[in-house]
Structure 1
Amino acid sequence: MKVLVIGSGGREHALVWQLKQSPEVEKIYCAPGNAGIAADAECVAIRVNELEKLADFAEKNGIDLTVVGPEAPLCDGVADVFRARNLAVFGPDKAAAQLEGSKDFAKAFMLKYGIPTAKAAAFDHEEAAAAYIRQEFAAGEKGIVVKADGLAAGKGVFVADNAEEALAFLHDCFDGAFGSAGAKVLIEECLYGEEASILALCDGKTIVPLVSSQDHKRVGDGDTGLNTGGMGAYSPAPVVDDGVWRQVHDEILTPFLKGVQAEKLDFRGVIFVGIMVCGGKPKVLEFNVRFGDPEIQPVLRRFDGDWFDVLDKVAHGRLAEAELVWSDDPAVSVVLASGGYPGDYEKGFEIRGLEEAAATGAVVFHAGTAFKDGKIVNAGGRVLGVSARGKTIAEAIDKAYQAVDKISFKGGFCRRDIGAKALKYSK
């Protein structure tokens, strides 16, 4: 079988790495890929927003399955383009992708189908939104979350502790800081608890969750500093215990599937449910219609089955027949980022120690890397995801950081506390 993976980040490298292990897969292409993916797949110089070119390539090269990594092409309708040509594709159609592409759409969907979530209101004028923010804080609200309605590359969300911060971010949204994504905003009550990520496969008839994980969004140790695309993740997330899992199934995933069917959405892909566990009860923070990055990295480190077979069955509406095989061993992935991230950063610095890191047994997933003068250099904010598996979460953490410490590039840094939240559950 021939597979095309669309994207160029750590998520796509993890997908390629796992697909490569399938006995059914003879050839993998990745468009456009990166320097690390090039070792596991043939990279193709087609951008993720060139939908017709991607479909042309799939037709010309006899691609049996295309797996879409990032959210932007899904929201642009790449799955619609492929299915119109009878090409098998893993990913929801454009209408279903609104669950990520519009936070207002997603919130309305949650409320309509009784999915637990935060109180919220949507606005397309700054004055009305500002009045609502002042009203909520005056009424005793401890925190407010301001969200740009559209896609903003993970940067369109701000958690404010006071009205001044909220109003400043609100102004940025309407002032064009996030382009058209900020033309409408969603203002939510702030939920307090512990976050977790639930990734679930869905083919419109069946929904099956993967193992749980937890991301670390803030740039600094102890969850300090600015929000990022994710500085590391681990799996499983102990906060998602048996009781929480039951509620996730009964109150979130089951109603989600019911809503997909009722709205006649063509959802053959993955729904990423970000939850906040508040007093043992999960509430949905957001929906995403693609695999979380970095969450998919430790999740796939724990997968011991045939990943191609699973994704292919989802694409063909046969998820109920798929077999998901998981290791009990925990896994941890630590992100190495460019100096200055998530703000401005310099690129083009040689990355050293990749072979030494791999020799420890860890898997190094490339995100923002490229080739320059025959060397691998940093080419993005999040550069690498160093992932390791262990018999315990502590062992997985130690193995991941042993590998991290073999790698260096000018300005490169990482958080040193990835997975620490899980350790408190093992004491």
Structure 2
Amino acid sequence: MRVLVIGSGAREHALVLAASHDPAVTALACAPGNAGTASIAEQHPVEANKPEAVTALAREWGADLVVVGPEAPLVNGVADAVRAAGIPCFGPSAAAARIEGSKAFAKEVMQAAGVPTARSEVVDNPARLDAALDRFGPTWVVKDDGLAAGKGVVVTDDYDKARAHAVTLLDGGHPVLLESYLDGPEASLFCLVDGTTVRPLLPAQDFKRVGDGDVGPNTGGMGAYAPLPWAPEGLVDDIVARIVQPTVDELAERGTSFSGLLYAGLALTSDGPHVIEFNCRFGDPETQAVLGLLETPLATLLHAVATGKLAEHPPLQWAPGAAVTVVLAAEGYPGRPRVDDLITGADGEGVLHAGTRRAEDGSVRSSGGRVLSVVGTGDDLEAARSKAYDVLRSVHLPGGHHRRDIALAAARGEVAVPGSEQTRAMTSG
């Protein structure tokens, strides 16, 4: 099988690395890729958001499977174009990708499907903003209705900050989504979907804020871990039954069947799991941790999804233990990142590239905000954390920064769902 992965981040490096271990894969390419993917796959320049450009490359290269990593190409219809050319493609249609591309559309689908989520209101006129804000908060949750690479949301107890973010979005021509605040720890559940059949992967948790202790602005994600040792028994089955399957069925009812990876971002509240958001693709940085534990051959699995044969695929196999991902970001991120810095120590095991490029002299240079993801695996979270941070100490990026508390609270047993037996034990102890 000839597999072409579209994208250039650490998520795509993780996908390419996992696909390289699949015995069915005979050729592997990544477009446009990065300095890390170049060591295990052919590199091809492509405008990833252009359906005709991706389709032309897939045809010319002779791809048997195209895997679209980022959300923007999916929202722009890249998967539709590739499938129209007769090439199996892992990734939803543009119509189905609206589940991420428009938060208002996602809310409409969830309401129709009876899926638990936060109360919400869309504001597209500044004249309506103040009255709408008065119907929410504190705490206020203010989101960009469209794609924002994980950085379009502000969660704050400060009315002025909430209003300022909403005004900035509206001034930029972006509708604003206001939501009620949901209590409880957050979790991410990736589900493979072929239009009807749903197969969940391991649950994970990511860290959006830039600083230790969840302080500072939101980012695209500064780290993640999987699985969740604090998750109540039966959590994944409950999420699939109450949230993912009804959403998939509702999309199919609308004639917009979802095929690809449906990512449910969840708040595990005292009233059960509630959806914070849906994404239409593998999440970054959770993918790096989740795929670090997957033993099932990935390309064969994704091909089964792309060809509507997921129900026929054997049960997924997972390595025991845990995985932790820590993101190394460039100076200035999540604002304007510094670029073109020399990176050393980035070729070690568990180091996945994102914002990197190979210079003419062979050195690796930074080219984006989130530069590297370092993945550690171990028998438990503490061992996986130790491995990830040990590897990270050998990597040098001038001005680079990372969080030091990824998975720390979970490793210490300090995370629990409100109202659970674990919460009561923690409170009484």
TM-score (norm 1): 0.94
1:50 and 2:50 matched: yes
1:280 Cα shift?
6.3
For 1:403, which of 375, 391, 394 is the aligned residue? 391
For 2:333, which of 334, 341, 349 is the aligned residue? 341
Please give the alpha-carbon distance, in whole angstroms, between the structure 1 residues aligned to 2:77 and 2:176.
23
1:130 Cα shift?
2.3
Contact kept, 8 Å, 2:25 with 2:299, in 1: the verdict is: yes
Contact kept, 8 Å, 2:120 with 2:178, in 1: the verdict is: yes
Contact kept, 8 Å, 2:194 with 2:260, in 1: the verdict is: yes
Please give the alpha-carbon distance, in whole angstroms, between the structure 2 residues aligned to 1:353 and 1:42.
22
The equivalent residue for 2:423 is: none
Structure 1 SS opposite 2:264 = strand
1:388 and 2:383 matched: no
Structure 1 residue runs of 5 or longer lacking an equivalent are none
1:240 Cα shift?
2.8
Please give the alpha-carbon distance, in whole angstroms, between the structure 2 residues aligned to 1:240 and 1:207.
20
The equivalent residue for 2:417 is: none
The equivalent residue for 1:186 is: 177
Structure 2 SS opposite 1:242 = coil
Please give the alpha-carbon distance, in whole angstroms, between the structure 2 residues aligned to 1:124 and 1:425.
43
TM-score (norm 2): 0.94
1:117 Cα shift?
0.3
1:47 Cα shift?
1.7
1:165 and 2:161 matched: yes
Please give the alpha-carbon distance, in whole angstroms, between the structure 2 residues aligned to 1:173 and 1:11.
28
1:250 and 2:241 matched: yes
Contact kept, 8 Å, 1:233 with 1:295, in 2: the verdict is: yes
Contact kept, 8 Å, 2:13 with 2:37, in 1: the verdict is: yes
Contact kept, 8 Å, 1:244 with 1:280, in 2: the verdict is: no
The equivalent residue for 1:413 is: 401
Contact kept, 8 Å, 1:247 with 1:281, in 2: the verdict is: no
CA RMSD, aligned part only? Answer: 1.4
1:152 Cα shift?
1.8
Contact kept, 8 Å, 1:232 with 1:333, in 2: the verdict is: yes
Counterparts of residues 11-410 of structure 1 (less than 5 Å): 11-136=11-136, 141-176=137-172, 180=173, 182=174, 184-279=175-270, 281-323=272-314, 324-355=316-347, 358=348, 362-372=349-359, 373-410=361-398
Amino acid at match of 1:289: C
The equivalent residue for 2:420 is: none
Aligned length: 413
Q: Which runs of 4+ in 1 moved over 6 A?
A: none
1:60 Cα shift?
1.8
Structure 2 residue runs of 5 or longer lacking an equivalent are 415-425
The equivalent residue for 2:419 is: none
Contact kept, 8 Å, 2:9 with 2:34, in 1: the verdict is: yes
1:212 Cα shift?
0.6
Amino acid at match of 2:32: P
Amino acid at match of 2:84: A
* Larger mean Cα displacement after TM superposition, 317-326 or 33-42: 317-326
Structure 1 SS opposite 2:251 = helix
1:246 Cα shift?
3.6
Structure 1 SS opposite 2:413 = helix
1:243 Cα shift?
4.0
Please give the alpha-carbon distance, in whole angstroms, between the structure 2 residues aligned to 1:165 and 1:328.
44
1:257 Cα shift?
2.2
Please give the alpha-carbon distance, in whole angstroms, between the structure 1 residues aligned to 2:107 and 2:226.
27
* Larger mean Cα displacement after TM superposition, 285-294 or 250-259: 250-259
